[in-house]
Amino acid sequence: MKTFVIGIGGVTNGGKTTLAKNLQKHLPNCSIISQDDFFKPESEIDIDENGFLQYDVLEALNMDKMMSAISRWMENPGHSAGPAALESAQRVPILIIEGFLLFNYKPLDTIWNRSYFLTVPYEECKRRRSTRVYEPPDPPGYFDGHVWPMYLKHRQEMNTITWEIVYLDGTRSEEDLLSQVYEDVKQELEKQTGL
């Protein structure tokens, strides 16, 4: 069976999870795998010389477990039977993988049918992050001492990427982002699957 895999990467608080959920509501036969769900327990997270837990790096994630979840979906794509099953069975199963470190993880490089990357400027990112409560909560200085520098480092590493990434302005409204990406996905689906 053909599948269509969408990557939504981007900065912390760029709106990745929000966009993925909004898209899922409008795309038939669409599943989401969130990198947010694959952080290692706090006891396994490295600490730097400033005492900051090193959460915004690949080593903080159980990527083997995430890859297993992706493989399980690939073996049996799409939702199980339900009232809409007959109709959606005729549609290409779509998987959205969303997270802040997708395009820096080589084993995923060949999986993407379409890649998006949400950006927001430093000030807005810091403001949004300060309105959220993470587990564990960000200590004072964490954004400038760990989160933003790691983001810049990962952006830098993305310079070597060879496939197309569609950059999205995360300061646009949820609705605008949804309609931009929805239209683009529809076009790409038609192009790539011939449907």
Ligand X SMILES: Nc1ncnc2c1ncn2[C@@H]1O[C@H](COP(=O)(O)OP(=O)(O)OP(=O)(O)O)[C@@H](O)[C@H]1O
64 binds, among ligand X, Mg ion, none (CB under 5 to 8 A by kind): none
For residue 10, count CB atoms less than 10 angstroms from its CB and return exposed for 0-12, middle for 13-18, buried for 19 or more: buried
- Eight-class DSSP state of 175: H
Closer residue to Mg ion in complex, CB, 16/114: 16
For residue 128, count CB atoms less than 10 angstroms from its CB and return exposed for 0-12, middle for 13-18, buried for 19 or more: middle
Q: Measured in whole angstroms, how far is the alpha carbon of residue 81 from the centre of its chain?
A: 26
**Is residue 36 within the footprint of Mg ion (CB under 5 A)?**
yes
How many residues touch Mg ion (CB under 5 A)? 3
Answer whether 111's CB lies under 8 Å from 46's CB: no
Closer residue to ligand X in complex, CB, 13/113: 13
Residues 6 to 35: which contact Mg ion by CB under 5 A?
A: 16-17
Q: How far is the CB of 128 from ligand X (least distance, A)?
A: 5
Residues 37 to 96: which contact ligand X by CB under 6 A?
A: none
Q: How far is the CB of 151 from ligand X (least distance, A)?
A: 10
Stretch that binds ligand X, among 38-46, 69-77, 87-95, 128-136 (CB under 6 A): 128-136
Residue nearest to ligand X (CB): 15
Q: How far is the CB of 99 from Mg ion (least distance, A)?
A: 7
Stretch that binds ligand X, among 8-16, 39-47, 59-67, 182-190 (CB under 6 A): 8-16
The set of long-range contacts for 176-179, using a CB threshold of 8 Å and a minimum separation of 24, is 177/15, 177/19, 177/22, 177/118, 178/19, 178/22, 178/23, 178/26
Dist CA 83 CA 123 (whole Å): 46
**Is residue 44 within the footprint of Mg ion (CB under 5 A)?**
no
Residue 48 annotated in active site: no
**Is residue 173 within the footprint of ligand X (CB under 6 A)?**
yes
Short-list 69, 57, 73, 48, CA closest to 141: 48
CA distances from 86 to 4, 92, 111, 159 (A): 19, 13, 27, 43
**Is residue 101 within the footprint of ligand X (CB under 6 A)?**
no
Site of interaction with ligand X (CB under 6 A) = 10, 12-18, 36, 100, 128, 131-132, 173-174, 177
